[in-house]
Structure 1
């Protein structure tokens, strides 16, 4: 459910971006709905609403949610202020690279790699496997950020499609690969061989 909630602002951004631009009257003002700039405004507003609601309900946001929200506000704000989509194109790469930095730094800061802090309550793995898994996350976020940057500045006509669906596809493939990797290292629980008398 959490992943779907985090996806709402991006989905709304995509829908508005794909809408043919048209003028609408709202609150006594004329607004353009459709295209990159109104989609960016919708992304900012929906992110504030979604993460604000989560904060009110749970009294906290996860660090990844804070980073995503701040990235959206910063790069989206610059996009609207300077009327240039270039700033928004940098959002996904920078946020992904900051995630990579967080996972990499956790090897040196704290007692456990970040992935173990996130998943250690659900699965038990040897220390060496946690380290490899954490390094895999670093590599994944570096590649995802680089791919987003390449597509955004090379394939202008499809960069929004890739931002929404390409990144999601890459993430799903990585998560499946992670699941297979983890499954190979999980030790089955010992069977209870006691017989009832």
Structure 2
């Protein structure tokens, strides 16, 4: 839970700053929070994950452009760029190098048949692509206000992510069963043996 809250730190501060000021102050606060997050990890000797660096890079580039040009279009693109970048990394790694990043991230915790790892990787990539597209719709369709977009960015995308994780857990649960020792063993239910 601490890790989740720590990872959400810039987003929470963005939301609070928007509620008390405007999109430009919120953008600056999120940029400072993302930098502070990296500095804190470095100072405490904790591992800085690739996702932290990616998020920092995207917020600095798009947040910086938002502040420099005083145009909120850039910050509204940020979630989409971040999600689509994750999708490209997931799909590109598998297609170009043959490495399944989901397997690499979760392979020590669970064992799955190769086909299930491929589906897991592709489903996450599809989720990121769809979420990025949905963000663009809410941000630029003209049907939503800026405040509604901020609420969607902070709460809507988070709820979608949580729902997706629950669906993924149920799907993964179909492949996991306890063996005689009570340890979790993973089987491919499509295997006739």
Question: Smaller-chain TM-score range?
Answer: 0.7 to 0.9
2:179 to 177, 185, 189: 189
1:160 to 150, 161, 167: 150
Please give the alpha-carbon distance, in whole angstroms, between the structure 1 residues aligned to 2:31 and 2:17.
12
Question: What does residue 7 of structure 1 align with?
Answer: 8
Q: In the TM superposition, what are the counterparts of 1:129-144 in structure 2 within 5 Å?
A: 129-144=116-131
Deviation at 1:109, TM superposition (A): 4.0
Question: What does residue 18 of structure 2 align with?
Answer: 17
Question: What does residue 119 of structure 1 align with?
Answer: 106
Question: What does residue 80 of structure 2 align with?
Answer: 93
Give the secondary-structure state (helix, strand or coil) at the position aligned to 2:172. helix
Moved over 4 A (4+): none
Give the secondary-structure state (helix, strand or coil) at the position aligned to 1:187. strand
Question: What does residue 190 of structure 2 align with?
Answer: none
More helix by share: 2
TM value normalised by structure 2 = 0.88
Give the secondary-structure state (helix, strand or coil) at the position aligned to 1:107. helix
Point out where structure 2 has 5 or more consecutive residues left out of the alignment.
183-193
Point out where structure 1 has 5 or more consecutive residues left out of the alignment.
20-33, 193-197
